[in-house]
Structure 1
Amino acid sequence: MKIKVNTWTVPAYWSWDVENEDVCGICQVAYDACCPTCTVPGDGCPLIWGECSHVFHMHCLIKWLNAPNSQEQCPMDRTPWKTAAAHS
Structure 2
Amino acid sequence: MRVRIKSWTGVATWTWVANDDSCGICRMPFNGCCSECRTPGDDCPLVWGQCGHAFHMHCILKWLNTQQVQQQCPMCRQEWKFKE
Counterpart for residue 12 of structure 1: none
Instruction: Could you tell me which runs of 5 or more consecutive residues in structure 2 were left unpaired when the two chains were aligned.
Output: 1-19
How far apart, in 2, do the equivalents of 1:68 and 1:57 lie?
17
Q: Identical aligned pairs, as a percentage? A: 54
How far apart, in 2, do the equivalents of 1:66 and 1:73 lie?
11
- TM-score, length of structure 1 as denominator length: 0.69
Where has structure 1 moved over 2 Å in runs of 4 or more?
A: 68-71
Counterpart for residue 82 of structure 2: 83
How far apart, in 2, do the equivalents of 1:43 and 1:70 lie?
31
How far apart, in 1, do the equivalents of 2:83 and 2:48 lie?
6
Q: CA deviation at 1:40?
A: 1.0
How far apart, in 2, do the equivalents of 1:46 and 1:56 lie?
8
Secondary structure at 2:47 match in 1: strand
Counterpart for residue 59 of structure 2: 60
How far apart, in 1, do the equivalents of 2:82 and 2:30 lie?
17
Counterpart for residue 30 of structure 1: 29
- TM-score, length of structure 2 as denominator length: 0.72
How far apart, in 2, do the equivalents of 1:75 and 1:82 lie?
12
Instruction: Could you tell me which runs of 5 or more consecutive residues in structure 1 were left unpaired when the two chains were aligned.
Output: 1-20
Deviations 1:20-62 (A, max 9, x none): x300000000001000011111100000000100000000000
Q: Is the 8 A contact 1:46 1:58 kept in 2?
A: yes
